[in-house]
Amino acid sequence: MTDATTQIKETVTANDVVLFMKGTKEMPQCGFSSRVAGVLNYMGVTFKDVNVLADADIRQGIKDYSDWPTIPQLYVKGEFIGGCDIITEMTLSGELDQLFEAKGVSFDKDAAEKIREANA
């Protein structure tokens, strides 16, 4: 395993929810990263953000690790969930709520409902 792979594995194992993104949750550097971070922030999910722009090895490494070509990438309890489109669909369908509940990740159900109402 490369150093980047080891670092990625340790990060997704040590944190319940991890978002590999362009920029940070306070200062996203792309619209897709901003959207996923925004959903997690709005739903009150505690998550670790990893800025792939800060480290080229991690930026390539996460694509290899998940076998997924794009950023952002969301991990919950060590499991790759998906990128922006998948997270958006899961949020609107309620699947993300179910996933968080099944994995024991706390989130604001009312906020999740508000997102769905706003996008209905």
Reply yes or no on whether the pLDDT at 1 is more than 70.
no
Per-residue pLDDT tens over the stretch 50-108: 999 999 999 999 999 999 999 999 999 999 999 999 999 999 999 999 999 999 999 99
- The single-letter DSSP state of residue 100 is H
Confidence (pTM): 0.96
Q: Is residue 105 within 8 Å of residue 45, measured between CB atoms?
A: yes
CATH number at residue 25: 3.40.30.10
pLDDT > 70: percent of the chain: 99
Q: What is the pLDDT of residue 120?
A: 83
- How many independent structural domains does the chain possess? 1
Domain with 103 in it = 3-118
Handedness of CA 86, 88, 90, 96 (dihedral sign): positive
Give one DSSP letter per residue of 65-94, joined into a string: HHT--SS-EEEETTEEEE-HHHHHHHHHHT
